[in-house]
Chains A and B, each alone.
Chain A
Amino acid sequence: MVNGEKERVSLLFMKALVSRGSVDAVSQQMASHPQYLESFLRTQHYILHMDGPLPLPYRHYIAIMAAARHHCNYLVYLHSAQFLRVGGDPVWLQGLEAAPPRLRLLDHINKVLAHQPWLTACSHIQALLKAGEQCWSLAELVQAVVILAHCHSLCSFVFGCDTDSDPASLSKSPNGTPPTFCPFDAANGNANVPQTLATPSEHITRRRSLDSSCDMVCLKEKIQKSQEEREKREERLLQTQGLQQTDMEEEEEMICFADPTRFITDPDLCYQEFARREEDHFQVFRVQDYSWEDHGFSLVNRLYSDIGHLLDDRFRSVTTLPSMHSPDLKRAIWNYIHCVLGIRYDDYDYGEVNQLLERDLKLYIKSVACFPDATKTPVCPLSLAPLKPSEQIHVNLLIMEARLQAELLYALRAITQYMIA
Chain B
Amino acid sequence: MEKMSRVTTALGSSAISGRTMFCHLDAPANAISVCRDASQVVVAGRNIFKIYALEEDQFVEKLNLRVGRKPSLNFSCADVMWHQMEENLLATAATNGAVVTWNLGKPSRNKQDQLFTEHKRTVNKVCFHPTEVYMLLSGSQDGFMKCFDLRKKESVSTFSGQSESVRDVQFSMKDYFTFAASFENGNVQLWDIRRPDRYERMFTAHTGPVFCCDWHPDDRGWLATGGRDKMVKVWDMTTNRAKEIFCVQTIASVARVKWRPEKKFHLATCSMMVDHNIYVWDVRRPFIPFATFEEHKDVTTGIVWRHQHDPHFLLSGSKDSTLYQHMFKDATRPVDKANPEGLCFGLFGDLAFAAKESLISSDSNRKPYPGGDRRYPIFFFKKPDQTEQFAHVSSALSVFETDLDSNCMDWFVKTAQLYLLCGKPFAELCDHNAKVARELKRPQVSTTWTMLRIMFSDPANLTPGPNHPLSKLGTLPLMNSFNMKEMNSGMGAESRLERSKGESRQDNSHLEPGNSLISNNNEDNEETEGSDGQAEYMFGDAELDDDDLYSMEHDNQTEEQEYTLPQEAFQLRHEIMDNPSAPEHLQQDKADSPHVSGNEAEVTCLTPIESFSLISISQPLFTPQLPASFFCPIVREMLSYYAEKGDVQMAVSVLIVLGERIRKEIDDLTQEHWYTSYIDLLQRFELWNVSNEVIKLSTCSAITCLNQTSTTLHINCSNCKRPMSNRGWICDRCHQCASVCAVCHHVVKGLFVWCQGCNHGGHLEHIRNWLKSSAHCPAGCGHLCEYT
Name which residue of chain B comes closest to A309, CB basis: B208
Q: For residue A260, give the distance in angstroms from its CB to the closest CB of chain B.
A: 36
- A268 CB–B CB distance under 8 Å: no
A347 and B297 form a contact (CB under 8 A): no
- Contact residues in A for B120 (Cβ distance below 8 Å): 347
Name which residue of chain B comes closest to A288, CB basis: B95
Q: What mask results when residues 219 to 244 of chain A are scored 1 for a CB within 8 Å of chain B, else 0?
A: 00000000000000000000000000
User: Which among A294, A297, A347, A420 is the interface contact of B97 at CB below 8 angstroms?
Assistant: A347
Name which residue of chain A comes closest to B140, CB basis: A347
B274 and A419 form a contact (CB under 8 A): yes
A346 and B73 form a contact (CB under 8 A): yes
A347 and B95 form a contact (CB under 8 A): yes
Known pairs A288-B78, A298-B253; A347 contacts B274 (CB<8 A): no
- A54 CB–B CB distance under 8 Å: no
Q: Considering the chains assembled together, what is the distance between the CA atoms of A419 and B78 in angstroms?
A: 24
Name which residue of chain B comes closest to A416, CB basis: B273
Q: For residue B298, give the distance in angstroms from its CB to the closest CB of chain A.
A: 5
- Contact residues in A for B184 (Cβ distance below 8 Å): 293
Q: For residue B92, give the distance in angstroms from its CB to the closest CB of chain A.
A: 13
Q: Considering the chains assembled together, what is the distance between the CA atoms of A419 and B273 in angstroms?
A: 10
Known pairs A298-B253, A299-B273, A416-B273; A347 contacts B122 (CB<8 A): yes
User: Which among B96, B211, B320 is the interface contact of A347 at CB below 8 angstroms?
Assistant: B96
Which positions 64-102 of chain A face chain B at CB distance < 8 Å? none
B228 and A346 form a contact (CB under 8 A): no
Which positions 226-262 of chain B face chain A at CB distance < 8 Å? 228, 252-253, 255
Known pairs A288-B46, A346-B96, A347-B97; A297 contacts B228 (CB<8 A): yes
- B187 CB–A CB distance under 8 Å: no
Which positions 251-300 of chain A face chain B at CB distance < 8 Å? 286, 288-289, 293-295, 297-299
- A302 CB–B CB distance under 8 Å: yes
Which positions 401-421 of chain A face chain B at CB distance < 8 Å? 416, 419-420
B76 and A346 form a contact (CB under 8 A): yes
Chain B interface residue count: which class?
20 to 34
Q: For residue A303, give the distance in angstroms from its CB to the closest CB of chain B.
A: 9
B272 and A293 form a contact (CB under 8 A): no
- Contact residues in A for B211 (Cβ distance below 8 Å): 294
Count, chain A residues at interface, CB 8 A:
16
Q: Considering the chains assembled together, what is the distance between the CA atoms of A64 and B252 in angstroms?
A: 34
B209 and A293 form a contact (CB under 8 A): yes
Known pairs A288-B76, A288-B95, A420-B297; A346 contacts B274 (CB<8 A): no
- B783 CB–A CB distance under 8 Å: no
- B698 CB–A CB distance under 8 Å: no
Q: Considering the chains assembled together, what is the distance between the CA atoms of A175 and B298 in angstroms?
A: 59
Known pairs A293-B209, A346-B73; A302 contacts B96 (CB<8 A): no
- Contact residues in B for A297 (Cβ distance below 8 Å): 208, 228
Q: What mask results when residues 623 to 666 of chain B are scored 1 for a CB within 8 Å of chain A, else 0?
A: 00000000000000000000000000000000000000000000
- B375 CB–A CB distance under 8 Å: no
Known pairs A293-B184, A347-B95, A347-B141; A286 contacts B273 (CB<8 A): no
Q: Considering the chains assembled together, what is the distance between the CA atoms of A347 and B46 in angstroms?
A: 13
Name which residue of chain A comes closest to B46, CB basis: A289
Q: For residue A347, give the distance in angstroms from its CB to the closest CB of chain B.
A: 4
Q: Considering the chains assembled together, what is the distance between the CA atoms of A295 and B297 in angstroms?
A: 17
- B121 CB–A CB distance under 8 Å: yes
- Contact residues in A for B253 (Cβ distance below 8 Å): 294, 298
Known pairs A346-B95, A347-B95, A347-B96; A295 contacts B273 (CB<8 A): yes
Name which residue of chain A comes closest to B76, CB basis: A346
Q: What mask results when residues 318 to 352 of chain B are scored 1 for a CB within 8 Å of chain A, else 0?
A: 00100000000000000000000000000000000
A346 and B122 form a contact (CB under 8 A): yes
Which positions 252-303 of chain B face chain A at CB distance < 8 Å? 252-253, 255, 272-274, 297-298
A302 and B274 form a contact (CB under 8 A): yes
Q: Considering the chains assembled together, what is the distance between the CA atoms of A289 and B120 in angstroms?
A: 18
Q: Considering the chains assembled together, what is the distance between the CA atoms of A379 and B95 in angstroms?
A: 35
B122 and A299 form a contact (CB under 8 A): no
Would you list the 9 A-B pairs with minimal beta carbon distance, nearest first? A346-B95, A298-B273, A288-B95, A347-B122, A347-B97, A346-B96, A298-B253, A347-B121, A347-B96
With contacts A346-B97, A347-B120 known, what are 12 further pairs, Cβ within 8 A? Answer: A288-B95, A293-B228, A297-B208, A298-B252, A298-B273, A346-B76, A346-B94, A346-B95, A346-B96, A347-B97, A347-B121, A416-B273
Can you give 7 contacting A-B residue pairs, CB < 8 Å? A288-B122, A294-B209, A294-B211, A294-B255, A297-B228, A298-B228, A347-B121
